[in-house]
Amino acid sequence: MRTKIVAGNWKMNKTLPEAEQLINDLLKQVDTENKVEVIIAPPFVNLSMAVDKTQGTLIDIAAQNMHFADSGAYTGEISAPMLQALGVNTVILGHSERRAYFNETDEILKQKAHQAYEKGMTNIFCVGEQLSDRQAGQHFKVVETQLKNALFELPLQAYKNIIIAYEPVWAIGTGETATPEQAQEMHAHIRQVLAKKYGQDLARNVRILYGGSVKPSNAGEIFAKPDVDGGLIGGASLNANDFNAIVEAAKS
């Protein structure tokens, strides 16, 4: 039985005082009872505080990105050793906003995925199609290509620390949401792609999250699908009440 995950990607939101308040609110509300894994990904400047405030709780802290090198002349970048020195061992890689706004290619993401594996970090790896891809009937192929190009040189054991997040780009921050049936269809496809490369056992055990305008009102229906193992939550993760409601939906 795969344990569900609810991960909150705060993106470029919350100053340090605002982040402290949100974490305080989450700690008062979120009771996972070990039934749901809860992860939050604040901006880099809030990570140290977030790690300190969640010590001894069931909330894990993730970074929203990292570089593929340990160190070097990469102005403005953050490395895996820097994150781990703070106590952060989970990272989101390949988010569509990183691909679109910062020109992250499959080749760059392959290097980042290898770095996460080599450092023993948990990698929440994002895939997803544009609206034009879906309209052209290419959505399955696009997601398959993203997976193969970035992850398929990794050994089977790497997937112990890989979580896939399917995010249809047309549903991120738009208010549009894939139907539960569309989410299930793509999640099942991802498992088939992984099974062909690594075998059925791995495909059955990898956790796949849905991301794309998940809200308290639709989370339960989406999470009820057999191949959906929780969500990567954007806007709703910035409100403690909404985020807690989504965590509660994942318990059902």
Question: What ranges do the domains of the chain cover?
Answer: 4-251
Which residues are known to be catalytic?
A: 95, 167
How many C-beta neighbours within 10 Å does residue 100 have? 12
Res. 188: pLDDT tops 80 = yes
CA distance 243 to 146: 29
pLDDT value of residue 104: 97
Closest to 10 measured CA to CA, from 46, 52, 37: 46
pLDDT value of residue 174: 74
Res. 113: pLDDT tops 80 = yes
pLDDT value of residue 176: 74
pLDDT value of residue 164: 98
What does the block give as tokens for 170?
Answer: 């047309």
pLDDT value of residue 34: 72
- What are the tens digits of pLDDT across the range 20-74? 999 999 999 987 677 899 999 999 999 999 999 999 999 999 999 999 999 999 9
Percent share of the chain, pLDDT over 70: 100
CA distance 80 to 115: 8
Res. 13: pLDDT tops 80 = yes
First vs last Cα of the chain: how many Å apart? 14
CA distance 108 to 64: 15
Rounded average pLDDT over 212-217: 92
How far is the CA of 26 from the CAs of 129, 171, 185, 244, 246, in angstroms? 32, 25, 32, 7, 12
**Per-residue pLDDT band at 178 (split at 50, 70, 90):** confident
Res. 252: pLDDT tops 90 = no
Burial zone of 150 (CB within 10 Å; 0-12 exposed, 13-18 middle, 19+ buried): buried
**Burial 108-117, CB ≥16 within 10 A → b, else e:** bbbebbbbbb
**Per-residue pLDDT band at 172 (split at 50, 70, 90):** confident
pLDDT value of residue 125: 98
**Per-residue pLDDT band at 7 (split at 50, 70, 90):** very high
Q: Which CATH architecture has domain 4-251?
A: Alpha-Beta Barrel (3.20)
- What are the tens digits of pLDDT across the range 131-147? 899 999 999 999 999 99
Mean per-residue pLDDT of the chain? 96
CA distance 89 to 119: 9
Res. 177: pLDDT tops 80 = no
